Structure 1
Amino acid sequence: MEKKAVEVACGECMFKMPGKGCDLAIKIDGATYFVDGRKIDDFGDAHADDGFCNAVRKAVATGEVVDGRFKAKSIQLVEDKKASKPKS
C-alpha cells in the first residue's frame, strides 16, 4: 500500500479488537488490523489524554496487510487542526 490516509489507535481500547494489553492498530477503509513494525509507545505515552488508548489519530501510512496484520513501512501522524493550540 502506498501512502494512504488511515486512523491509528489502541486496538483493544479504541477499536474494541480482541486481545490483552494495549497494542497499536490501524483502520484502513473500515477494517482494523494490529500493526507490526511499530509499537504503541513509539508515538508517545499511549495513556496520555491524546495517546492511542484515549484517542483515535489520523495518519498517513505505507505498508501491507499480511495474514491479517498490517506490516508497517511508515506511519506518520497528521496533526488535527482542531486540536492545535493557537500561536501566541
Structure 2
Amino acid sequence: MKQIVAISCGQCMFDLNSKKGCSLAVRVDNQAYFVEGFEIDDFGDAHDEHTGFCNVIRKAEVVGELVNDKFIASSIQLVE
C-alpha cells in the first residue's frame, strides 16, 4: 500500500537512538521507524544543509510494511 510519510535521519531528526551514526527513518502515524531496503545517502548527501536528511524532514511516497519495529521498504519516492 502506498502512503505519504515523513522521511529523515532517525538519529538527527526523529530522536531514535537504538543505532549509532545516521540512518534513514520514516515516521508513520507519529511513530518513527528505521528503514531497511534503502540507505540514507541513496537520496543525496545526508548532511546537505538544505536537502539532507540529517538537517531537514522531507516527505515521501513509500511502499513497504512494518516488521519487528522496522519499516521494510520496497519503494521510496521523494514528494518534494
TM superposition score category, shorter chain reference? over 0.9
Q: Percent identity, please.
A: 55
Write the letter of the residue equivalent to 2:5: V
2:25 aligned with 1:12: no
Write the letter of the residue equivalent to 2:78: L
Q: Matches of residues 2-81 of structure 1 in structure 2 within 5 Å?
A: 2-18=1-17, 19-49=19-49, 50-79=51-80
TM-score, structure 1 normalization: 0.86
Shift of 1:51: 0.3
Structure holding more strand per residue: 2
Shift of 1:37: 0.1
Structure holding more helix per residue: 1
Residues paired across the two proteins, number: 78
Q: What is the alpha-carbon distance in structure 2 between the residues aligned to residue 17 and residue 46 of structure 1?
A: 16
Q: Which runs of 5+ in 1 are unaligned?
A: 80-88
CA RMSD of aligned residues (A): 0.6
TM-score, structure 2 normalization: 0.95
Q: After the TM superposition, list the runs of 4 or more consecutive aligned residues in structure 1 that deviate by more than 4 angstroms.
A: none
Q: Point out the structure with max Rg over C-alpha.
A: 1
